[in-house]
Amino acid sequence: MARIFWFRRDRRLGDNLALNGCANQAIKDGDKEVLGVFWYSSNDFESQSGMRQHSLTESLKALDKSMGNTLSVISSEDTAGLVEFAKERKVSFIHATESFDPEGIAEQRQLASKLKANGIQLVLEDSYYAVKPGTVSKPTDGSAYRVYTPFFKAWFQIGWSAPAKLTKGFVWAARKGVSAIPVPTKPAQFPVRAGEDFALETFKKFQKRALFDYSENRNRPDMSGTSHLSHALAHGEIHPRTLLAELRDTEGHNVFRKEIAWREFYADVLYRNQHTLDDYYEPRFKNMRYDKGAKAKAKLERWQQGTTGFPMVDAGMRQLLATGWMHNRVRMIVASFLIKDLHLEWQEGASWFEKHLSDFDPASNSHGWQWTAGCGTDASPYYRVFNPILQGYKFDPDGNYVRKFIPELRHIAGSEVHEPWLLVDGLTNGYPEPMLDHSVERDESLARLKEIKVD
């Protein structure tokens, strides 16, 4: 009787410890058969942007191919579909990678109890991280780290195993019927590539192209200075262990390791503070004054569509719509603008990101937003308000990033593109005037902060 392996955010065969665990047990069982299955909710799929839909579909196609076209795909609103599938195939065990975010935990709890009622066991192993969330604790009292740097040191001390190869000697059980991989209902702007082979290829290219200079160039959205592996990590097409195993003790490598550790830190913070997926990590920020109503909605729409009149903000928002990805520096700039210039709540921006980012990750998204909002784990003693114009001059010094995503500004050469309203012909192609005065809104944001200060 085959065992089921339930693929979740671990859509790869290499260094998949939960899959190896399942395969080893199948070999022990004698029949050696593993039935690979992926489950999704069609309502969730429908709510996502075209880029997100295509990236999931391509990820599943690649996985199916690597399994000799044996992946079964189930669509149902909750895990009941998986239970029915297991009952039909008369299996006794479903194996999977353990999830530590609120949705994943709810899913696996619900599934485990339904399976138990049918005499089937859910076996959970490993995680999507080098170090399992909840493992890194202060040696003094066992509590969680609230600040990144000491977390990083302790995380690095704990360490991780070397990447594991796929267990040999098991076979994929044939699926019944044709593949039910979801078909996107919305267009993508270009053919999306995904899957384990593509992730490994992307990492190799990054090692050659940009890893050495990563510490210098990673903040430059006009350069290809980062790995672009966030999509593969979010889908589990590559495990962080595979990346970490290749890193040495050079500046670029060390900074890249630290960025991987941010992903691990946020996963740990979310695991220990489940409510912070959509609620404030620092509760006093709940009482801050935020703008609401029709005017706020109109401001949100301008931000979403990239028509605020601030080139760096608009380039970022248009990059998101066009590619399903945005550079980290620009994510911080657009997030700061939404919260500190438009005075909207961080959750508004986070849910737009969730819909459009093909690298959407619940922990990195919620805590990336909360860090920028100042209500998260930022250890800085002052309240950061990014100046979207100065950020443009600093991180897109020749204006190439802005021109790439804003066609209305392509007639402006060099860095002047960051303040097109200062030029006689700057706004001739229909690009809007700035929707607000940044220095006025900065003061307004600081005034609102003062109202919730406890000293």
Ligand X SMILES: Cc1cc2nc3c(=O)[nH]c(=O)nc-3n(C[C@H](O)[C@H](O)[C@H](O)COP(=O)(O)OP(=O)(O)OC[C@H]3O[C@@H](n4cnc5c(N)ncnc54)[C@H](O)[C@@H]3O)c2cc1C
Residue 131 binds ligand X (CB under 6 A): no
Contact status: 353 vs ligand X (CB under 6 A): yes
Q: Is 364 a binder of ligand X (CB under 6 A)?
A: yes
Select from 82, 229, 244, 412 the one that contacts ligand X (CB under 6 A).
229
Q: Does residue 71 bind ligand X (CB under 6 A)?
A: no
Is residue 325 within 8 A of residue 319, CB to CB? The reply is yes
| Cβ 334 to ligand X shortest distance, Å | 8
Indicate whether 281 belongs to the interface with ligand X (CB under 6 A): no
Q: Which amino acid is at 82?
A: L
Among 50, 195, 316, 368, binds ligand X (CB under 6 A): 368
| 95 Cβ contact partners less than 8 Å away, ≥ 6 residues apart | 3, 4, 5, 6, 18, 19, 21, 22, 25, 123, 124, 125
User: How is residue 310 written in tokens?
Assistant: 């601030």
At closest approach, how far in Å is the CB of 323 from ligand X? 11
Token match 């997100």: residue? 52
The answer to whether the CB of 452 falls within 8 A of the CB of 287 is: yes
- Among 341, 20, 1, CA closest to 10: 20
Binding piece for ligand X, criterion CB under 6 A, among 15-23, 161-169, 197-205, 261-269 = 261-269
Interface pattern 177-216 for ligand X (x via CB under 6 A): ----------------------------------------
Q: For residues 114 and 331, which CB has a smaller minimum distance to ligand X in the complex?
A: 331
Residue 359 in contact with ligand X, rule: CB under 6 A = yes
Per CB under 6 A, 72 contacts ligand X:
no
Q: Is 328 in the site for ligand X (CB under 6 A)?
A: yes
For residues 31 and 174, give the distance between their C-alpha atoms in angstroms, rounded to a whole number: 13
* C-alpha–C-alpha distance, residues 116 and 92, integer Å: 10
Q: Are 303 and 337 in contact (CB under 8 A)?
A: yes
Tell me the closest approach of the beta carbon of residue 130 to ligand X, in angstroms: 11
Q: Burial, 424: exposed, middle or buried (Cβ in 10 Å; 0-12, 13-18, 19+)? A: exposed
Interaction of residue 230 with ligand X, rule CB under 6 A: yes
Closest by CA to 234, choosing from 353, 347, 342, is: 353
358 binds ligand X (CB under 6 A): no
Q: Is 234 in the site for ligand X (CB under 6 A)?
A: yes
Cα–Cα dist 374/43, whole Å: 33
Examine residue 9 and tell whether it contacts ligand X (CB under 6 A).
Answer: no
Between residue 136 and residue 175, which ones bind ligand X under the rule CB under 6 A?
Answer: none
Q: Decide: is 345 part of the binding site for ligand X (CB under 6 A).
A: no
Q: How many CA atoms lie within 13 A of 385 on its CB side?
A: 17
372 binds ligand X (CB under 6 A): yes
| 3-state class (DSSP) for residue 4 | strand
* Per CB under 6 A, 12 contacts ligand X: no
Q: Which of 55/226 has CB closer to ligand X? A: 226
Q: Which chain residues interact with ligand X by CB under 6 A?
A: 218, 226-230, 233-234, 259-260, 262-263, 266, 327-328, 331-332, 335, 353, 357, 359-361, 364-365, 368-369, 372
